[in-house]
Every structure is written in structure tokens, then in C-alpha cells.
Amino acid sequence: MIAVDTNILIYAHRADSPFHQQADSALTRLAESGQLWAIPWPCVHEFLAIVTHPKIYDPPTPMTDALEQVACWIEVPTVVVLGEDRRHWQQLWRILEAGQFVGAMVHDARIVALCMGHGVREIWTADRHFPQAAGVRIRNPLVDQKGR
């Protein structure tokens, strides 16, 4: 299963993004692939916070539009929305300790731990500093347009 990070969701949503076309195409291919794919809940929350923020986008996405966008993604029959369970803490601990991740990297390590706990094999992100963890491939679909 492939999981999609916040920045890919933002680029796919915001037509004013210089990466909009590539992100939208990648997300469309993924949604139409017939395979299960995932969006972690923390990425949904971060997406909503960023696209509606008036100091980040001028104009920001109206909250109603942002909520409708998330609803569209969640309604895709092959999407799985990932949340933490009781095992999450142990997985997060291992990732943070092994990688010595601190500060802002803790949020991204949380995404990796969440994905690992749900059997995600690949995370799509445009973040060049996304934490690496054994068993999960980190890939930028905006650079590699081959799909999977």
C-alpha cells in the first residue's frame, strides 16, 4: 500500500502550486489504480491547517472547499485513512530513537510510524528530509512520473 504525505495533497489541491499538475496526475493515477492506498489522519489535519492559512496562501482555500476536498479523497473506495492504535507508541519510539529525530522531524517520524503500523510499503512525499525507516520506501512521485 502507498500512503500520501501532506505536501502531495496540497500540491494536488492548489491549482496555484508550481507542482499542481504533477501532483494531481500522480494522485489521480493512484486513486484510479484499483489498489488500496492511504492518507494518514495527521496529513489530513495538516492539509486543512495549511491550505486555509491566510499567511501561507493568498487567497487561502475556504474551509468549506478544503473540507469538500478531503471528503472527495475519503470517498474514493480504495482509500484507507490511517490512525494510531495501541501499538503506535512503540513503533514511534523505535523510529525516533533509531534515527535520533528531533524537532520538526518528530511529526514526519509520526507519519512513518503510523504507516509502518498499517503495512504501508511506500510513502509519497516531496519532502527531501523525510525520515527513512527500514521496510518503507520514501518516493517523490513529482520527480518519478512512472506511477508505481
The reported pLDDT for the residue numbered 13 is 98
Q: What is the pLDDT of residue 62?
A: 98
Q: Which helix (H) or strand (E) holds 38?
A: strand 37-40
In which domain, by residue range, is 101 found? 2-139
| pLDDT for residue 147 is more than 50 | no
User: 3-class SS at 84?
Assistant: coil
Confidence band of 53 (pLDDT split at 50, 70, 90): very high
pLDDT (average), residues 78-98:
94
Residue 16 counted as domain residue: yes
Per-residue pLDDT, 144: 66
pLDDT over 80 (residue 145): no
Whether 146 is covered by a domain: the verdict is: no
> What b-and-e string marks burial along 7-17, b requiring 16 or more CB atoms within 10 Å of the CB?
bbbbbbbbeeb
Asked if 109 and 96 touch (Cβ cutoff 8 Å), the reply is yes
On the question of pLDDT at 71 being above 80, the answer is yes
Domain count, the chain: 1
Cα–Cα distance for residue pair 54/56, rounded to 1 Å: 5
Residue 145 lies in a domain: no
pLDDT of residue 148 exceeding 60, the answer is no
Asked, for residue 116, whether it belongs to a domain, the answer is yes
- How far is the C-alpha of 141 from the C-alpha of 136, rounded, in Å? 15
CATH code of the domain in which 23 resides: 3.40.50.1010
Residue 95 falls inside a structural domain: yes
Average per-residue pLDDT for the chain: 94
pLDDT computed for residue 134 by the predictor? 80
Could you report the per-residue pLDDT of 104-144, keeping only the tens digit for each?
A: 899 999 999 999 999 999 999 999 888 888 889 999 999 86
Alpha carbons 122 and 133: distance in angstroms, whole number? 11
